Amino acid sequence: MSNITPVDELKSNLSKMESQFKMALPKHIPAERFMRVIFTAIGQTPALSRADRQSFYAACMKSAQAGLLPDGKESAIVTFKNKAGQEICQFMPMVAGILKQVRNSGELASITSQLVYEKDDFKYWIDGEGEHLEHKPNIFEDRGKLRGVYALAKMKDGAVYIEVLTSQQVDAIKKSSRSAGSGPWAGAFEAEMWRKSAIRRLSKRLPLSTDIEMTIKADDDFYDLEGKETQGEVDTNALSVSAKKPSRLGKLVKGVTSKESKEETAVLPPDEHRETEVVYNEDVDQSDLPI
Close Cβ partners of 44 (under 8 Å, ≥ 6 residues apart): 268, 269
Close Cβ partners of 265 (under 8 Å, ≥ 6 residues apart): 78, 79, 80, 179, 182, 183
In this structure, is residue 236 part of a structural domain? yes
The structure's pTM equals: 0.62
In this structure, is residue 289 part of a structural domain? no
Please give the pLDDT value at position 209.
61
Note the pLDDT tens digit of each residue in 112-144. 899 999 999 999 999 998 899 999 999 899 999
Close Cβ partners of 67 (under 8 Å, ≥ 6 residues apart): 25, 26, 28, 29, 101, 211
For residues 282 and 109, the answer to whether their CB atoms sit within 8 Å is yes
In this structure, is residue 291 part of a structural domain? no
In this structure, is residue 290 part of a structural domain? no
Q: Centre a 10 Å sphere on the Cβ of residue 42 and count the other Cβ atoms it contains.
A: 19
Q: How far is the C-alpha of 126 from the C-alpha of 109, rounded, in Å?
A: 22
Please give the pLDDT value at position 204.
80
pLDDT over 70, % of the chain? 67
- The sign one gets for the Cα dihedral 227, 233, 238, 240 is positive
What residues make up the domain containing 166? 6-281
Q: What is the mean pLDDT of residues 266-278?
A: 35
In this structure, is residue 44 part of a structural domain? yes
Note the pLDDT tens digit of each residue in 7-55. 888 999 999 999 999 999 999 999 999 999 999 999 988 889 899 999 9
The HSE-up count of residue 211 (CA atoms within 13 Å, CB side) is: 19
Over 70: is that where the pLDDT of 227 sits?
A: no
Tell me how many domains the chain contains: 1
At residue 152, the 3 state secondary structure works out as strand
- The sign one gets for the Cα dihedral 227, 179, 165, 169 is positive
Please give the pLDDT value at position 291.
31
Q: How far is the C-alpha of 55 from the C-alpha of 89, rounded, in Å?
A: 5
In this structure, is residue 286 part of a structural domain? no
For residues 160 and 115, the answer to whether their CB atoms sit within 8 Å is no
In this structure, is residue 287 part of a structural domain? no
In this structure, is residue 288 part of a structural domain? no
Q: What is the mean pLDDT of residues 256-271?
A: 36
Q: How far is the C-alpha of 132 from the C-alpha of 126, rounded, in Å?
A: 6
